[in-house]
Amino acid sequence: MPIEHNYLPEQYEQTGKPKINHNYLVEQFADYAEIFKDIEQLVKKGDYTLGHSVDEFEENIKNLTGSSYAIGLGSGTDALFLSLKAAGIGPGAEVITTPYTFFATVGSIVSAGARPVFVDIRDDYNIDPDLIESAITDRTKAILPVHWSGRACEMDRIMAIADEHGLCVVEDTCHGINASYNGKALGTFGLTGCFSMHPLKNLNVWGDGGYLVTDSGETHEKLVLLRNHGLVNRDECAMFAYNSRLDSIQAIVANHLLKKIDHITDSRIANAALYDELLRAIPGITVPVRPENVKQVYHIYVIRAERRDALCEYLIANDIDAKIHYPIPMHLQPAAAEYGYSPGDLPLAEAVCDTVLSLPVHEFVTEEQVRYVAGKMGEFYARG
């Protein structure tokens, strides 16, 4: 399977063309001069690694989520991987998760030395709690639910199953900052909640970055060591570990954006509500039900569409950056061949991957643009 050394520059050029775009980074950081002032102070101090801005960021996240501890890390992927390591997940273990997610979820399980066990999803795109228990074996050590697009999994059911069977729960909350379930912040149900600050996340930085939250003092102590070579201080190493430190510069960017997180969240929710209203009236489009006890934050706005591929092409031709997240479920990826799954094993996830479509929903999408997108979608289906 040949790959280019770096396929991203060309991809950036292509995806930057539509007027109604998933990429909003220029607008979001138009006030970059304010961030530069804080970076100037960092340069004068020289605390580039695990500096004061990281301490401040971790305090801000604790306050936002109500968690006892927060730990800044190099990426959301590292948050997942290190959480599993801290929980003692390794070779011989099985971790139950969803097939409808980004590669990092499964990659973290495999990197920890464990085997991913996939359970099908429901119409909300999240793991089906009714199917989890039948997947548990004597090798199962953890459940790794994914709050897809910032919509909460049914965490009361998942936690009850985990408690009954003595399993660890690590939440993939990489889409879910500022989201909640029954009024409780996502990421605060399991042993840890893992978050990404990739440039296109709701809270994003100027590169890779991530963090996790936990209420376990023991887990916090392990993870503080795991992220920084196992160092207790400059000269003593308690365990040989990893390097996954949130850079001080990225913490400065995150702290700046955290001041806007409620506006970011509210804007996405409002845009999604308007999409829901307009798209539900279009035959051929399926919009998920939105439960009242779930605060969904719409990292992406995802619907299902008949003749999805043709619709996607039509929208792109009309200056709308429609995307597919994702066309191939994890259990059917080439990397998963060794686990023995076949087409038809997880039918709803496969059907969803064949029909999902993502539309721009971020805070810089205007009401006029949402109506234009919906209008073009109605126009497509009216043409037959």
Domains of the chain: 32-258 (3.40.640.10), 260-382 (3.90.1150.10)
Reported as a pLDDT band with limits 50, 70 and 90, residue 10 is confident
Question: What is the per-residue pLDDT for 16?
Answer: 66
Q: Is 180 helix (H, G, I), strand (E, B) or coil?
A: strand
Tens digits of per-residue pLDDT, 176-227? Answer: 999 999 999 999 999 999 999 999 999 999 999 999 999 999 999 999 999 9
Separation in Å, CA 309 to CA 94, 156, 251, 334: 35, 36, 39, 22
Orientation angle between helical segments 52-65 and 32-45, nearest 10 degrees: 130
Length of the chain: 384
Tens digits of per-residue pLDDT, 154-179? Answer: 999 999 999 999 999 999 999 999 99
Element (H, E) at 301: strand 301-305
Q: Is the pLDDT of residue 2 over 80?
A: no
Average pLDDT for residues 249-273, to the nearest whole number? 98
Average pLDDT for residues 79-94, to the nearest whole number? 98
Reported as a pLDDT band with limits 50, 70 and 90, residue 1 is low
Q: Is 121 helix (H, G, I), strand (E, B) or coil?
A: strand
Reported as a pLDDT band with limits 50, 70 and 90, residue 15 is low
Average pLDDT for residues 29-58, to the nearest whole number? 96
Reported as a pLDDT band with limits 50, 70 and 90, residue 99 is very high
Question: What is the per-residue pLDDT for 9?
Answer: 74
User: Does the global pTM surpass 0.85?
Assistant: yes
- Joined together, the tokens standing for residue 319 give 């200056």
Average pLDDT for residues 243-262, to the nearest whole number? 98
Which residues partner with 243 through β-bridges?
Answer: 228
Average pLDDT for residues 276-281, to the nearest whole number? 98
Average pLDDT for residues 320-326, to the nearest whole number? 97
Question: Could you give the dihedral angle defined by the CA atoms of residues 122, 360, 254 and 169, in that order, rounded to the nearest 10 degrees?
Answer: 10
Interstrand relation of 168-172 and 192-196 (parallel, antiparallel or unpaired) = parallel
Work out the percent of the chain whose per-residue pLDDT is above 70: 98
Work out the percent of the chain whose per-residue pLDDT is above 90: 95
Positions of E strands within 110-266: 115-118, 140-144, 168-172, 180-181, 184-185, 192-196, 210-214
Q: Is the pLDDT of residue 114 over 90?
A: yes
Among the residue ranges 3-7, 344-348, 356-360, the one predicted with the least confidence is 3-7
Average pLDDT for residues 316-320, to the nearest whole number? 97
Average pLDDT for residues 84-91, to the nearest whole number? 98
